[in-house]
Structure 1
Amino acid sequence: MRGFDPKWQDVPHYIIGITKEIWEDRRIGSLRGLYSDGLIVRSPASVVVDNTNVIAATMATLAEFPDRELLGEDVIWCDDPDGATKTSDAYLSSHRLICTATHDRAGMYGAPTGKQVKYRILADCAIRDGAVYDEWLVRDQSAIVSQMGFDVVDWTRDLIAREGGPDTCVRPMTSANDVAGPYDRQGNDNPIGARYADTLRAIMGADMDVIPRHYDRAVNLHYPCAQDGLGWADADNFWMGLRSAFPDAAFTIDHVIGRDDPMMPPRAAVRWSLHGKHAGWGRFGTPTGAEVYIMGISHAEFGPFAGKGTWGDPTIRREYTLIDETAIWKQILLQTGAHA
């Protein structure tokens, strides 16, 4: 890894290692070197520009959840030869974390509840010169809120008020307020990544019959609000509920990585977006007509089991998808006037 501290053996070691250093070892100041100046971190809740703001947000989170741990589940990555320089290699990564924490102090989530929470985070990073220089992150906010004992819509309405009301509250990320960063490529051309991207396109194109054809019958599923599922029906329920709420929204594949590693199943990471009107019944209740932008990240693991596939035609055995449901509700509440 040219341009990186030699202590990092590879990209997964780097991603999981710096995550522990920053959050658990309290080396928050190391962000000045591990994150590039002018870094843009996009999450459904907001767009944060510049390292100083990232450091401030990190400290605020640790003040509210002082025992926070981030356990690295997987890093799906690839080389980025077009991003390399004369002195440094460049890489793309999509990593998946399980976060555990206790809500011990007041902060963004309100007065301390003392509740222990466990939730996933999915994040895409562009990396070179030993630092992350562009990032997209989705946190399972509805899992956090629900495990604290709050109704997701009520909590989001209260958040708007605590942030000063509809005129001054933090705006969720949309295509209008997104900030273009230095990384503008779309991943690699690994066939596993392409297969998963095509599967998601088919689902969003209302071809739900792709699920029994491309998913293992015993597929393990992990969806927003810490919702775990099993089998074709649960996959259909999640994707149908999301798509039916935004039936005419434009679906876009924004980034794809496919990966094969020894002792690991073939894996894929896809970042995608859904942009359009809340015009249908589904996961978000009564249609409101609000214009909503959704950034999602999905990971999948493939295999040949249950008689459905071969190594030339693998099926999805595990799927992890995150969207931030509080950011979606915030957009709906702000546009419909239901924030009061």
Structure 2
Amino acid sequence: MKRNSFWFWIFPTIFALVVMTGIRLVSDTPTGYKFWERPIAFNLIEFASAIIIAYIFQLIIYIFLKRSSCKTGKLSFNKLLLEYLYIWLIGVVIVNPSLVVIHYFTNDPPGLDDFVIATVIFSLFLIIVYSVFRGKLILDAYVAEKLQTQQVKNMQIETELKFLKAQFHPHFLFNALNTIYFQIDETNETPRKTIEKLSELLRYQLYDVNHPVYIEQEFNFINTYIDFQKTRMKDYLQHDVAFDQQLRNQKIHPLLLFPLIENAFKYVGGEYWIKISARLEINCLIFEVSNAIPHAIEQKSKKGGVGLDNLKKRLDILYPDKYNLSTSKANDVYVAKLIIEL
């Protein structure tokens, strides 16, 4: 039940009226007493107090269930029962002291039977209220999960179609690279190695990324890319790569680390260095890329380019609520950090 809905604000009044009427009928019927015939002020005090208590209690239920809504997918019957008992205990702590106050203002000291009747009727109606609130949260979570699953399927289908369309061109490119490679004299080793590195990069991106891969494979691809870039930058670039061996047998969706590497090579300047590190901490991949940037050039005001935007979209779908991507710039150093729960 949403806070801006009509029933959210009217339901506590209905609940209070039903509970108070039930308590009055159960406690007064055996004695033949008719509560509607007593002074109207007493009834107003009881029902007004019950309504106020109902709104306070609804707020407590709303906050409690809202905070635990993230655990909806992990709920079991035992957890639901414990949750209900916890809310029931809070309600009993509120209802019984309130009963003493109400009876004080109506000059009718409560007896043990009043507490028992109030607790029993409150408990029965609480089952209905709790079921409505919790059921709505479970339904919303189920619908959201289905929509997310469908979104992932649609993205996979779209990606497969794009991949099939794109396959015609890479075959031509591989053949062209192969032709150029054999046209270069064997003594001219540098361009031949450059073509080899480019072919390796293309092959990985086209054929080895249709399923999760070992993080070690991703780093081999990154090292190949670094070697390829070094042929362009020659000896100017200083780079440091640290790879935690505990990550070797861990798997990840492919090409999620590469955009940060590509971004570093694109904007590196100044002292011309890049540092790359990957480590495993509490079942999380901590991947960090830092690079020197030119001192005189002002950085663009926008947060990131197309590559980083696409990376965030992929992470949202592949690792929802299981990643953190942050970037920062200080003292002519740009740092990108990605944390993924494996």
TM-score range, shorter-chain basis?
under 0.3
**Could you say which structure has the higher helix fraction?**
2
Structure 1 or 2, whichever has the larger Rg, is 2
TM-score normalised to the size of structure 2?
A: 0.23
Question: Which of the pair is proportionally richer in strand?
Answer: 1
